[in-house]
Structure 1
């Protein structure tokens, strides 16, 4: 039986948000609100991954992490800290944490950190593939690259565009929802290019604190700032002769966008603290789960950089628009996971396949793979039936029906405002936000859209309640 993730977080609203995101992605979660309860749960369930807020009411999170690592050194701890506590996150990494999350963070970064911890991969944004890779002939994925399995019309167009663009030096801009396989698309472009034997360096711009991102991209020299104890080449130099993949490009700070534009224009990098630039030969592939043009309109992304990068766009379609591909991906994943876990599954029942075709899959391929992994780990084999599916996945087909329209007339009914009159405005705001989060099943992005706020603003408000 698979062990749940352990989430140690004392703020109820954040507990609800984090748990909802994790369960929607197919993960089982055990929640604790204090260090004492967290350590007891850690001893009981023996999780492989712990999500640990460093600020707890009864004990310092670093001390708790030390106790957990002393018990089980193999556990992967992801520490969660506020924006003003970067030094504490760095201290946690030195003490043995696998990764850190700085609030506010989005669902993509959150789930990416968890996926990396579960598979033992290095943290997102610090993972690289500098070793030479053999060139792949067709623009198709390996058996493990489930997002590229399928023969739908949408994916055929993707394969054709990859085959065409891979032979050029043109910058590729990949868009698509979280979990659709944007990094796999970038890898396919690299593997089908003349640079396939060179390095493929992936950097997640949303996974690294902004004050460290310049050093991660362009490198630094020893002594250029506090903590720079040795020279570091940076991702752009490490990708020399190969491909640099910049994920979540729209999260890049404006000041660094200017330096990236200069890099694209001159093909030179100048590490922090260096006196001379260095020429490199790098192909840029970038990706975002946002609308980049909307980011330009809002002033969060430079227009000149957008037009410099947006040369060959590739949009990865969501799983719900890929028809029968969902069944092909599920069958391939079932076969692969069965072999890994020593199980003997024969396929899916017609009811399960129908449910898979009807389900909207908000987490896309990532969510589907988590569902299949859940089934394989918790069952011995045979035909997959609806009873084997995780509880987070609706059994009935009616679950795929769209959410009902909001009753604006009822919401505007002044007779329902009586309980709020006389309360402080901050308290009314908190009640409204918590009610909206509950309606959106804990999804901060959905609640933010409903409230016409940015997700980062909503995260900051939720975090502020903790300090109040």
Structure 2
């Protein structure tokens, strides 16, 4: 084996790279663990490279095409999260599986946000390790570089190109390939179930079922049947076998809607299922294991629900591996014209009406409304106009009375910092925070605005959190 350091980052189609003669790069500083991982991989037929340092890992990665990296976070010469960023800067379509000595929600979220496909905690069984590597290999075969035009394209049935929605699309694409649980957080009407469906459709489980379980509707006497099912004769009235949501979702995705509305007593039962992956229907002789992806959603802040005792802390940490926050419509007003036009054409066709244009003064009122019901409320307003009115243009008097009476928006004043009194470090921080604010916290786009590498911003943010 030979290795040669490259002076510039190389991407997958760079013709100067040698052929793909390795499948997996193992980065693990403990020699015994490195040997064990290599043995597992080679038994499965994978061709491996292995190293114990971040420096050599980056050198090997630049010199050889590998599709999967198994990355330990605790390395002697560098933090594994920083190496993760550099690896994906060099070749964005690589699948990275992170291995850590302990489970840390903050580290897990950081790893997934920075592009890791999966997060494993030592000791890792051979079965779990190989499942993660096989999923990573499949994802690598299907991957598209995240910096392509596709990154700005809406996913699923979403409409909009605002910065908050681009962040949503980016997160959905990043986590769809993973088995990590995703918790979708947002007000009613922001599209939480649409986000869950988009994740499912972009995953390698797209051909499997997508099953929704309404946690707010579950009661103690119905929980076992609704979630796990029952066999005929299990209780009076059980005249037929019935599959529960967990069995129906086998091979696909189980979407736990409004997880914070599930009674605490039932959260314990749900947590036990999530930990074991086993289903034991009422009246069945034995339990059976199911293979499914868990997605959850809540319309209230899960952190607040946990503090109030509404959500168990262990269930919170089980589900909040990848948080996906859906922006309310008032935080993305630039999407309102496109959404309104989309709904108008959709509902006009559905209702057989001739309305096809929204008058400028009508659009101004739509943009000035704060939309407490979010996208769902906007859709209802547009549909009501198409049902109740004739003509070819939506005029202001076709809107509900509350929107007709919206006053003119007050001029926006901007509080500018006093640059003359700030130090260089304070100016730098102000510039970074302003860029992050413009892009709703999206580090990649903020870094592009500032002309620096994303890894630079991540290091700055980590430093400030420690202050």
- The TM-score bracket by the shorter chain reads 0.5 to 0.7
Whether 1:155 and 2:165 are equivalent positions in the alignment is yes
SS at match of 1:369: helix
How many angstroms does 1:304 deviate by? 0.6
Write the mapping of 1:416-455 to structure 2, written as runs, cut at 5 A.
none
Counterpart position of 2:181: 171
Larger Rg: 2
Q: Deviations over 1:331-370 (max 9, x none)?
A: 0000111111111223111111111111011111111111
C-alpha separation in 2, matches of 1:399 and 1:257:
48
**Post-superposition CA distance 1:117-160 (Å, at most 9, x none):** xxxxxxxxxxxxxxxxxx9x977345xx3xx2000000000000
Could you say what secondary structure the match of 2:400 adopts?
A: coil
Equivalent in the alignment of 1:397: 406
Report the Cα distance in structure 2 between the residues aligned to 1:296 and 1:397, rounded to whole angstroms: 38
Gaps of 5+ in 1: 1-134, 402-468
Q: 1:370 to 1:396 in 2, by over 3 A?
A: same
2:251 maps to 241
Q: Quote the residue 1:188 is aligned against.
A: 198
Give the whole-Å Cα distance in 2 for the aligned partners of 1:196 and 1:156.
22
Tell me the equivalent position of 1:318: 328
Q: Cα 1:168–1:200, aligned 2, differ >3 Å: closer, same or farther?
A: same
SS in 1 for 2:315: helix
Partner of 2:14: none
- Asked if structure 2 preserves the Cα contact closer than 8 Å seen for 1:178 and 1:363, the reply is yes
2:232 maps to: 222
CA contact (8 A) 1:176 1:182 kept: yes
Name the counterpart of 1:363: 373
Counterpart of 1:258?
268
In structure 1, distance between residues paired with 2:379 and 2:337? 12
- SS across alignment from 2:239: coil
Q: Which residue of 1 aligns with 2:312?
A: 302
**SS where residue 203 of structure 1 aligns?**
strand
| Structure 2 equivalent of residue 349 of structure 1 | 359
Comparing 189-198 and 294-303, the one that deviates more: 294-303
Shift of 1:294: 1.5
State the distance in 2 between where 1:181 and 1:286 align: 13
What is the distance in 2 between the residues matched to 1:400 and 1:272? Answer: 59
Q: Given the alignment of the two structures, is residue 140 of structure 1 paired with residue 154 of structure 2, yes or no?
A: yes
Following the alignment from structure 1 to structure 2, what is the Cα–Cα distance between the partners of residues 292 and 400? 33
Could you tell me whether the CA contact under 8 Å between 2:154 and 2:161 is conserved in 1? no
Q: Following TM superposition, by how much is the alpha carbon of 1:260 offset from its aligned partner in structure 2, in angstroms?
A: 1.5
TM-score, scaled to structure 2: 0.54
Partner of 1:246, secondary structure, is strand
8 A contact 1:249–1:287 mirrored in 2? yes
Contact between 1:171 and 1:311, CA under 8 Å: does it hold in 2?
yes
Contact 1:205 1:213 in 2 (8 A): no
CA distance in 2, matches of 1:227, 1:362: 44
Distance change (3 Å), C-alpha of 1:395 and 1:160: same
Secondary structure of 2:234 counterpart: coil
Instruction: Go from structure 1 to structure 2 and tell me whether the alpha carbon gap of 1:233 and 1:364 turns closer, same or farther (over 3 Å shift).
Output: same
State the number of aligned residues: 262
Measured in 2, the distance between the counterparts of 1:211 and 1:360 equals: 41
Describe the superposition over 1:239-288 as per-residue Cα deviations: whole angstroms up to 9, x where unpaired: 00000001011111222211221211111111123331111100000000
Which of 209-218 and 164-173 deviates more? Answer: 209-218
- The 4+ residue runs of structure 1 with deviation greater than 4 A are none
Question: Given the alignment, which residue of 316, 322, 341 partners 1:331?
Answer: 341
Q: Which blocks of at least 5 consecutive residues in structure 2 are unaligned?
A: 1-141, 145-149, 411-467
Decide whether aligned partners of structure 1 residues 400 and 370 sit closer, same or farther in structure 2, where only a CA change above 3 A counts.
farther
> Contact 1:214/1:256 (CA < 8 Å) preserved in 2?
no
SS at match of 2:333: coil
Any idea what the Cα deviations from partners look like across 1:25-74, whole Å, max 9, x if unmatched? xxxxxxxxxxxxxxxxxxxxxxxxxxxxxxxxxxxxxxxxxxxxxxxxxx
Q: Distance in 2 between matches of 1:315 and 1:396?
A: 32
Q: How far apart in 2 are the matches of 1:243 and 1:305?
A: 18
Whether the aligned pair in 2 keeps the contact of 1:346 and 1:382 (CA below 8 Å) is: yes
Q: Is the 8 A contact 2:369 2:406 kept in 1?
A: yes
* C-alpha distance in 1 between matches for 2:231 and 2:408: 55
Deviations 1:209-247 (A, max 9, x none): 442133111112223233322211100110000000010
